A = this chain, B = another copy of it.
Amino acid sequence: MATKRAQMMEETRAKLIRAAREAFATKGYAAASMDDITADAGLTRGALYHNFGGKKGLLQAVVDQIDAEMVTRLIAAQERAPSPWEGLLTEGVTYIEMALEPEVQRIMLLDGPAVLGDPSQWPNQNACLLRTTQTIQALIDEGTVKPVDAEAAARLINGAALNAALWIAAADEPRVVLPKAVEAFRQLAAGLLQTER
């Protein structure tokens, strides 16, 4: 039986993460005070320090949660694609779309790296990136993609998609810019394809 204390603790953790996610996304990490977050969750800083060890620990928990959600969406998008190669492209486009969401942009792309350090060193190894790496490795194995370093390629692809997203987000006419970015992304990615076709 799950003891009553344990499930209470899960509950408070969830409430804190929910409140923090909201605050970090809207105000940014630095401007979000722990007092506000905990009060918003109906708790105090005592609970926060007990469960997450501090402000950074809370951010880490929020990042892990969002990261997991992103991976789920990436997998879903890839599985709908007609071929593995199209799956990779679809993954990239999906990544761009996710990066357009203010929450992802603020927490995962700006504050996260600044506070926690490089994403590839996050505890869960940045599942999002790991996923792309595996996809590329599979394409290399089947001969679709040139034999480059899979992680390097995944890194660059993600970086390209990320910058495309930031560009679109800051553009005056996102609707006009989006197709341009997607087209350029496809062209770039084609550089990985095995010669010919």
Contact = CB atoms under 8 A, between A and B. Distances in A.
A155 interface: yes
Contacts of A121: 170
A39 interface: no
Chain A interface size, under 10 / 10 to 19 / 20 to 34 / 35 or more: 35 or more
Contact of A192 (B28, B163, B191): B191
Classify the secondary structure of A's interface with B.
helix
A185 interface: yes
A187 interface: yes
A58 to B, nearest CB: 15
Contacts of A180: 148-149, 151-152
Interface of A: 28-30, 110-111, 113-115, 117-118, 120-121, 146, 148-149, 151-153, 155-164, 166-167, 169-170, 177, 180-181, 183-185, 187-193, 195-197
B155 A181 contact: yes
User: Which of the listed residues A30, A118, A163, A190 has the most CB atoms from chain B within 10 Å of its own CB?
Assistant: A163
A77 to B, nearest CB: 19
